Amino acid sequence: MQQAKKGDVVRVHYTGRLTDGEQFDSSAGREPLEFTVGAGQMIKGFDTGVEGMAVGEKKSISVAPEEGYGVRNEEAVIEFPVEQIPADMKLEPGMQLTLQNQDGQPVPVVVTEIREKVVILDANHFLAGKEMIFEVELVEIR
């Protein structure tokens, strides 16, 4: 029976949960996710977890932060001066914004706190520092 290996294009159905059971993503109701095994298109733990699976096989893959979205980086939490925010922009905690880095690349951030003179913005991925569990079914190997 053919097993998924590096370089294969595969299609999978999946559900991603945190260790407390909270679901953060799923392919349910959508087309299966397609990617090339070992090409760096997926987080490392998911990618390596699919290796060796056969079509029709279902598997639970645990992904540590180091193999997922990384550990939280406290240097990615920044204080942004309130006076640099447009007066008509009403910020709220949890709001997602996009800043630009020095190279003009977009950097997604989340407003975590609003203080008198600064707004606290977090540029960590929302899954950084979290262990994830994926229920995966390999649908096809091309």
Does the domain formed by 74-122 have CATH 3.40.50.720? no
Question: Which part of the chain is CATH 2.40.10.330?
Answer: 74-122
- CATH assignment, 9-70+127-141: 3.10.50.40
In the prediction, which pLDDT does 58 show?
98
Q: Are residues 110 and 94 in contact, defined by beta-carbon separation less than 8 angstroms?
A: yes
**pLDDT given for residue 86 in this prediction:** 86
| pLDDT of res. 59 | 97
pLDDT at site 15: 98
Strand-strand pairing, 96-100 and 9-18:
unpaired
Low-confidence ranges of the chain (pLDDT < 70): none
Q: Rounded to an integer, what distance in angstroms lies between the CA atom of residue 138 and that of residue 142?
A: 11
